[in-house]
Each structure stands twice: as C-alpha cells, then as structure tokens.
Amino acid sequence: MKRFIEENSKEQFDVIIIGGGITGAAVAYEAATRGLHVALLEKKDFGWATSAATSKLIHGGLRYLAYMEIPLVRESLRERRILENIAPTLVYPFPFMIPNYKSLLNNRWVLKMGMIMYDILSFDKGWTWDRSKKIPLHSQISREKALQEEPNLKAEGLTAATIYYDCQSIFPERLTLMFIKSAVNYGAKVANYAEVKDFLYRNNSIAGVTVYDTLNNKEIDIEGKLIINCGGPWADIILKKAENGTVKHQIRRSEGIHIITKPIVNKYAVTLMSKKGRHFFLIPWRGYSLIGTTDKEYIGNPDNYRVTKESIQELLDDVNEYFGDGTLSYNDIKYTYGGLRPLVEDQVEGTYQSSRRYEIYDNAEEGVQGLITVEGGKYTTSRNLAVKVMKVVEKKLKYSLPKSITHKQHLAGCEIKDLEAFFNTVYTSDTSFDKKSLEVLAKYFGTEIDTVIKIAGSNKKFREIVTHDGEILAEVIYAIRHEMARTLPDIVFRRTGICTAGNPGNDKLTLVAETAAKELRWDKKELSMQLNEVKQRLQLPK
C-alpha cells in the first residue's frame, strides 16, 4: 500500500471517505467493489481510535434482546457468520459463560428464554464455509461443573451456568486493516496521517476537501463528487467544518475502557452483571485476561480523551464485587486501553442502554450539499452498514451500482477455505521456526505469511522472537514495507501485537524501535521521540 496523497495526480473521485476506522474501511471496500473511484483519508493511523478500543468480540448483541432490538440482533448474528466466513484467520467461535445466581437479573429461566430466542435468531449459524466455524446451540451446566471450569466464580448463590457461543476477533486492528487492503485491491486510494482541514465548494455544493499531510507538512486539495463522513466520535466536529447551512446533529460519546491482567479466567468469556444492570466480560486472550468494558458518557473534545485511574478503579470494583476473591488490584494490571463510541443523539438517556444501531444522514437536509454522514454502529455490523450507505450513494450520484459481493468473498490475506489444512501446511512448511511463532503469524497475516517468512529468511536477526507468544521482528519490516506503517505506535499497536498486551520488555521494545528506525531512516532524536511515545502509552495512568 502507498499513501496516495504523496503522488496525487489531481484525479477526481466518486467518493471521498473521511475516517479510517472500521466504518470507513468497510465503506471504502464496499464502494470499491461496486466500481466506484474511492479515496479514504484518516487523520492519524488506520483503526487507531474506536476500532482499537474494543472487547475483541464479534457478537450478536444478546443484551439488546432485553430492549426488543430484535432486527439489530438478527442483523448482528447474520453479520457474525459472514465475518467468520470472510475473515477466517481473525474471527473465531468462542464459548461464553453466564453464571446463574439467585438474583432476578441473572435468573436461570429468564436467561433460558433469552438464549432460545438467540438460537432462533441465529438459525443460519451453521452455514459457514469452514466447518470449524460452526457455532453450537446454547447449553446449561451445573453449579459444580461451572466452578470446576472457572474456579474464580463467586460460589455463593450460584445455581448453574449458561453456556453459549459468540465470536472473538483476535486482532481488531488487523481486521480493520484487512478491509482497507481489500479496498486497495479493488482500486481504492488510501492515506493515513491525512487530516481533512476544510471543504472545497463548487456551485454551493461540497466538491472536495483540503487535506493536511502531517508527515510531509503540506496541504493538498482532493476533488470528489460525494463526501462520506465516517469520523466516528469526530463526525460532528467534521460536520462543523461545513460552511453552508446549520448543522444540527450532535454525537453523544460513550467511554469504554479495558484492562489486561494476569489470567483469572480459564476457557470461557465470563459474562457478569453489576448492580446497575451493566454487563462486563472477563475474556481469556493471549494468555492473559481481558476485562471490560465500562460504558459512561464522555463530555469534551475526543482528541483530549485519556483513560483515567478513576475509570480503571470503577471497573476493578465491579470485578472484585462479582468475581474472584475480591483482591484484584491496580498492581495486577499489565496494560489498559480505552476509547470513545459514537451514539446517535436520539438514543435513550443512559449510554449503556443505548444500542449500537446506526444512522445515515444526507446533510443536504441541513443545507450542506455533497455530504453524507454515518453515525453510530458497531464493529459486527460495519459491513452491512456499508451496504446501506451505498444505497444512499446511488441516489446522490444517480448511479446504478452492481449488487454487493462483499458477503461472499474473503478479505485480503484471508483467502482460506480450510483453516485446519492451512495451519497444517504452515506448521510443516518451515520447521526451523518455533511452532507458536508460525501459529501467531498464520493467524495475523493469513495468506500473506509467506512474505513475512521471506523477510525473516533474509536476515537472521529478523527471526528473533519479541513477544511472549511468538511474534518475530520480521513483522516490523513487513508493516513498514507493505502496510503503510510510519510510526512506532503504528507498528507495535496496530500492525503487530508487540505492545497490545503491554510492554514486552524494554530490551525487546528498544530492538523493535531500532529496527524500525533503520528501515524508516529515523535519526537518534526521532528514534527517541518514537520510543518515548510508546513507553508513555504503556504506562498506567496515575
């Protein structure tokens, strides 16, 4: 991939998409597959904000049944299956456990009714391309069996446990990137570190954008017939840059944080509910436990958002009240991350009770011609949201577009029909690598693993393992040469998992930074700045 703004030849695009999170990435892919000339612009790096602050789940939204959001649940369950199919190395069925306690909110029979409905709505869950992706029906296990499987459950009042399946997205940042790479394969032009500063106008209609290339410190104008605002928590800020009309839409922002701790759950993603009626998860991930999420309204500029110690403590308090021996502390946290979710303005008061539905606005209704805005949504339904966006694009551009094909073809790097056969081939292709390295490379890079292995073979140093679960230094080179990584955070948080579970160790981190510096030709000052930025992010808030 290349940053097209560095070689822009004054071409005109059919659509210019602002925002390189999962929504913008899915819209870019959908638009490109329909034959549109597409440009995607992201002010920082692809998937750096909301799309990197998830619970790493692709789910049907079981809790939305309580609010009778049945169409959203059905859509989510269908899209869950589609993502299993089109991204087989990155999305996997995963078992969930809901402990059944005597309290009404966790009543066994209430849960039973909900799970039956969930199974009915996911009637097509067995229609997967790969048999390993099929999801079973829910089941019940006894109190004794539940405690045997997850010894840290609170035993008092426990009557049984409900087991069901959703999916785990093992590396959401790479899944977002695979949508972008898929769009590029269909001719889309993309650029990170390309901030939209203003809109261009022609005949009282938006006809393009002025973009600031933050890496090269220059501005360029890019023309497009239609602008699609996929700015997520920044969508209303982007709208305010439009000069014509009075923009009325305001986005509510919900903060969600996660913490990574020592392993305190074994094989299940344990789902619990606080006294306030909010669910949270404890999920096994990369040998640790991933715990989240909070869900409370955030007031302020999204650029200023940071995880606070107070938010972390609130989450710890919930965990200690409902799980374990009550001693999980700040010192047990290996890493924490958080982000903001956009919620459409007419949703209910509490952000937790707000569903993850979405809206597509034609801003012509507010006097802003040539612009549409996408608000709300969630990771699981992003592909189908993009399909619906194309219906609006057709009307605005007066085009007759071909039907969607994104539900029936693999994403870039994911072109695998039989996952078991694929892994077996990887394991036997080069026995000089540690098996855990081959496994993690196969999952993260899919069919692109051969290029990573080739890089590793070019220099013995690039074979060095830099994480507890087997990632290697060659990934750093691959990220820079093939995936538009331009900063150390790009590399260690979004192209690889080197720092997504916390600091791999200062020696390893320094090695990674020095390798990137050589490839990107950083001087000592730049290397120090990049390294310090990552170290600061890895520190827990004080």
List the structure tokens of 154.
């609170």
Check residue 350 and give its pLDDT.
Answer: 44
Asked whether the predicted pLDDT for residue 347 surpasses 70, the reply is no
Asked whether the predicted pLDDT for residue 535 surpasses 60, the reply is yes
Q: What is the pLDDT of residues 39-48, one digit of tens each?
A: 999 999 999 9
> Higher model confidence: residue 459 or residue 367?
459
Rounded mean pLDDT, 169-175: 98
List the structure tokens of 183.
């769009």
Asked whether the predicted pLDDT for residue 115 surpasses 80, the reply is yes
Check residue 354 and give its pLDDT.
Answer: 44
φ, ψ of residue 271 to 5 degrees: the values are -105, 125
* Alpha helices by DSSP H, 188-343: 235-239, 309-322
Residues 6+ apart with CB under 8 A from 513: 488, 527, 530, 531, 534
Structure confidence at residue 349 as a pLDDT band (50, 70, 90) = very low
CA atoms of 419 and 237, how far apart (whole Å) = 43
Q: How many CA atoms lie within 13 A of 36 on its CB side?
A: 31
Rounded mean pLDDT, 66-80: 93
> Higher model confidence: residue 125 or residue 8?
125
Asked whether the predicted pLDDT for residue 144 surpasses 80, the reply is yes
Rounded mean pLDDT, 277-284: 91
Asked whether the predicted pLDDT for residue 356 surpasses 60, the reply is no
Q: What is the pLDDT of residues 299-311, one digit of tens each?
A: 999 999 999 999 9
User: How many other CB atoms are found less than 10 A from the CB of residue 83?
Assistant: 24
> Higher model confidence: residue 337 or residue 356?
337
* Three-point CA angle 490, 376, 222, nearest 5°: 60
Structure confidence at residue 186 as a pLDDT band (50, 70, 90) = very high
Q: What is the pLDDT of residues 426-443, one digit of tens each?
A: 999 888 999 999 999 999
User: How many other CB atoms are found less than 10 A from the CB of residue 118?
Assistant: 22
Check residue 376 and give its pLDDT.
Answer: 79
Check residue 378 and give its pLDDT.
Answer: 86
496, 470 contact by CB (below 8 A): no
CA atoms of 292 and 53, how far apart (whole Å) = 10
Asked whether the predicted pLDDT for residue 345 surpasses 80, the reply is no
Check residue 80 and give its pLDDT.
Answer: 98
The predicted model scores a pTM of: 0.96
Rounded mean pLDDT, 144-170: 96
Structure confidence at residue 348 as a pLDDT band (50, 70, 90) = very low
Average pLDDT of the chain? 93
Structure confidence at residue 353 as a pLDDT band (50, 70, 90) = very low
Asked whether the predicted pLDDT for residue 108 surpasses 80, the reply is no
List the structure tokens of 294.
């909070």
Q: CA gyration radius for the chain?
A: 23
Asked whether the predicted pLDDT for residue 219 surpasses 80, the reply is yes
SS (H, E, C) 77-122: HHHHHHHHHHCCCCEEEEEEEEEEECCHHHCHHHHHHHHHHHHHHC
Q: Is 392 exposed, middle or buried (0-12, 13-18, 19+ CB in 10 A)?
A: middle
User: How many other CB atoms are found less than 10 A from the CB of residue 96?
Assistant: 20
Q: Which of 188, 232, 193 is nearest to 28 (CA)?
A: 188
Check residue 273 and give its pLDDT.
Answer: 86
Rounded mean pLDDT, 68-83: 95
Check residue 5 and give its pLDDT.
Answer: 95
335 three-state secondary structure: strand
Asked whether the predicted pLDDT for residue 352 surpasses 50, the reply is no
The one-letter amino acid code at 47 reads: G
**Beta-sheet strands, E only, within 239-306:** 252-261, 269-273, 279-285, 288-292, 296-298
Structure confidence at residue 508 as a pLDDT band (50, 70, 90) = very high
Structure confidence at residue 351 as a pLDDT band (50, 70, 90) = very low
Percent share of the chain, pLDDT over 90: 84
Rounded mean pLDDT, 466-492: 98
The separation between the first and the last C-alpha atoms of the chain, rounded to the nearest angstrom, is 39
List the structure tokens of 162.
């409900």
Check residue 250 and give its pLDDT.
Answer: 73
Rounded mean pLDDT, 80-101: 97
Percent share of the chain, pLDDT over 70: 95
218 three-state secondary structure: strand
444, 477 contact by CB (below 8 A): no
Check residue 7 and give its pLDDT.
Answer: 86
Rounded mean pLDDT, 351-364: 67
Structure confidence at residue 66 as a pLDDT band (50, 70, 90) = confident
SS (H, E, C) 193-206: CEEEEEEEEECCEE
Residue 380: is the preceding peptide bond cis (ω within 30°)? no
Structure confidence at residue 34 as a pLDDT band (50, 70, 90) = very high
Check residue 279 and give its pLDDT.
Answer: 86
Structure confidence at residue 296 as a pLDDT band (50, 70, 90) = confident
> Higher model confidence: residue 236 or residue 525?
525
269 forms beta bridges with: 96
288, 468 contact by CB (below 8 A): no
